[in-house]
Structure 1
């Protein structure tokens, strides 16, 4: 997958075949729908989109940010409100990649550019997301190496969106052909700390010996570690996760934490690129590829000291 070469969309764009330089269409309003504004990851997405929209269109750009709580009906209503408000661009973190398709078609038919972030969305003009297969694989390589290729692992899963499915697939690919046994992979912790605690508590009751945990994001991993500590379990050697969030960064640095790795995303950059791409599409300039994948390197105790964290500017 080719990386998107970030062009400056703030300057005038050259449109048409006549060679005449025409003024770019102004960016007046964007709508942002993310899954959960209680999660710092989605806060970073919303901030990246809003900051970039104002850099392009000026301080007067109207930015509307809403949370869908992983509910399709809620998100469809939000998209319909964006259409009624005549926004120029919708930045969308899909609650249901396929189910949202008809609503996105309505938006595009209304002349609105739709850019999906973090997960695929059927009918979007373009998608900017982390390389989630890489994210799951890099985290689970650390588990496989630490366990010497054998042991019992549980996967604290999440909502059935493409980002989560790809992370689990990448993890399982690493474990395939090793002596590592995945005891459970179907428990949805909703991507939250409370969900991670609840799911992990149930897994601890079900399985007397667990050597490692892979959680699909940092909040659920943090919840899982809290459950492990409350239960006083000593059999679990490490937790691996995805996000590279500030809380995970702190946990990796802590001497007594089970956190061994979190593969780093950059939600601010992801959303910023999405707005740049959306603005280019508004002005007849599409990216070389409809899907942009951002690499997700592993952050461990060995390199956390040089990790720059989520870029927020």
Structure 2
């Protein structure tokens, strides 16, 4: 090979390398023109508020960006289709409330391979670029510490469980940590799922009332289950049972203001701020300001009958 040929090959190799490098460049926050958001259910005001916070944050940076928020309705196949749809529409940022924290990995990988940044919201998911959620262990601990105090440290308590996603597992973990400090409290049940729903929470509570005639306290993993449980107690005309929960939902505000309700506290989340923080995390990853795999935990606050009047709820944003 001649000297000129060597130079030509080197130059072509350099151009090819530069072209490959340019093609692999990650999007920046300024490049966002389309954003996809897939959540468990848009019938839940929690997720409606999360989407509202995220949309506000997105439009501050990219006023013309399209935001496509969809309800997965807790259906894994539906969520897979939504993720693929987001990529087809050119989404560079996806906020994902995973229906299944492990099974969504293939969809997450496809999105990332297509150049999107994926941020998990509310619950963790394997393989995402970042996660933003409530400190759920702290939420469970706060709620059950208050429950134990209201029971004067003794009595039979049921933990009404839910879907086995990270947030629920962590809430139950925090609750058990809190109750373990009170030897006079006996956990009589912790494996019944209210499935995050009012009607199932109602049914589970009906079962408790039959099985545990001395039940004095219940921790539910979210507010819909707490409201359903409260209704079951009312219909059974049972007295002396107190309920604490996690969420700070609009329905629980009404329950806390009702002197006839069994609900006495809820460790509140802030879905509006969660949406904002998730967008910020995604933008910071795109701009190289945040390490991939970062997790941000939002501290919960305990809402009780004493301070509910000062509480700024989800729908107040």
Corresponding position of 2:230: 225
Q: Is this contact kept in 2: 1:269–1:311, CA < 8 A? A: no
Q: Kindly state the Cα deviation for residue 312 of structure 1 after the two structures are TM-superposed.
A: 5.2
Q: Which has the larger radius of gyration?
A: 2
- Kindly indicate whether residue 125 of structure 2 is the aligned counterpart of residue 91 of structure 1: no
Q: Is this contact kept in 1: 2:30–2:62, CA < 8 A? A: no
Which of 182, 186, 198 is 2:203 aligned to?
Answer: 198
- Kindly indicate whether residue 269 of structure 2 is the aligned counterpart of residue 265 of structure 1: yes
**Which stretch has the larger CA shift, 132-141 or 299-308?**
299-308
Corresponding position of 1:277: 281
Corresponding position of 2:308: 304
Q: Distance in 1 between matches of 2:292 and 2:114?
A: 24
Q: Is this contact kept in 2: 1:155–1:215, CA < 8 A? A: yes
Corresponding position of 2:54: 49
The CA RMSD measured in Å over matched residues stands at 1.7
Which of 172, 177, 187 is 2:176 aligned to?
Answer: 172
Q: Distance in 2 between matches of 1:245 and 1:235?
A: 24
Corresponding position of 1:39: 44
Structure 1 pair 173–164 and aligned structure 2 pair: CA distance change class (3 A) = same
Corresponding position of 2:252: 248
- For each residue in 1:145-177, what CA deviation from the matched residue of structure 2 results, as whole angstroms up to 9, or x when unmatched? 111211111111111000000000000111114
- Kindly indicate whether residue 115 of structure 2 is the aligned counterpart of residue 116 of structure 1: no
- SS in structure 1 at match of 2:31: coil
The structure in which a higher percent of residues are helix is 2
Under a length normalisation based on structure 2, what TM-score does the superposition of the two structures give? Answer: 0.87
Q: Distance in 2 between matches of 1:153 and 1:162?
A: 23
Q: Is this contact kept in 2: 1:277–1:286, CA < 8 A? A: yes
Which of 179, 188, 192 is 1:187 aligned to?
Answer: 192
- For each residue in 1:94-122, what CA deviation from the matched residue of structure 2 results, as whole angstroms up to 9, or x when unmatched? 11111111211111111100011111011
- Kindly indicate whether residue 178 of structure 2 is the aligned counterpart of residue 159 of structure 1: no
Q: Is this contact kept in 2: 1:25–1:282, CA < 8 A? A: no
- SS in structure 2 at match of 1:25: helix
- For each residue in 1:204-261, what CA deviation from the matched residue of structure 2 results, as whole angstroms up to 9, or x when unmatched? 222222101101011111011011111111241x110001112212211222221111
Q: Kindly state the Cα deviation for residue 45 of structure 1 after the two structures are TM-superposed.
A: 1.2
Q: Kindly state the Cα deviation for residue 284 of structure 1 after the two structures are TM-superposed.
A: 2.4
- Kindly indicate whether residue 83 of structure 2 is the aligned counterpart of residue 72 of structure 1: no
Structure 1 pair 141–121 and aligned structure 2 pair: CA distance change class (3 A) = same
Q: Is this contact kept in 1: 2:255–2:261, CA < 8 A? A: yes
**Which stretch has the larger CA shift, 195-204 or 89-98?**
195-204
Q: Distance in 2 between matches of 1:195 and 1:40?
A: 18
Structure 1 moving runs of 4+ over 4 Å: none
Structure 1 pair 116–263 and aligned structure 2 pair: CA distance change class (3 A) = same
Corresponding position of 1:9: none
Corresponding position of 1:150: 154
**Which stretch has the larger CA shift, 64-73 or 141-150?**
64-73
Q: Kindly state the Cα deviation for residue 310 of structure 1 after the two structures are TM-superposed.
A: 2.7
Corresponding position of 1:134: 138
- Count of aligned residue pairs for this structure pair: 289
- For each residue in 1:255-294, what CA deviation from the matched residue of structure 2 results, as whole angstroms up to 9, or x when unmatched? 2221111011100100111012212222222159700011
Q: Is this contact kept in 1: 2:29–2:283, CA < 8 A? A: no
Q: Distance in 2 between matches of 1:158 and 1:91?
A: 23
Q: Kindly state the Cα deviation for residue 73 of structure 1 after the two structures are TM-superposed.
A: 2.1
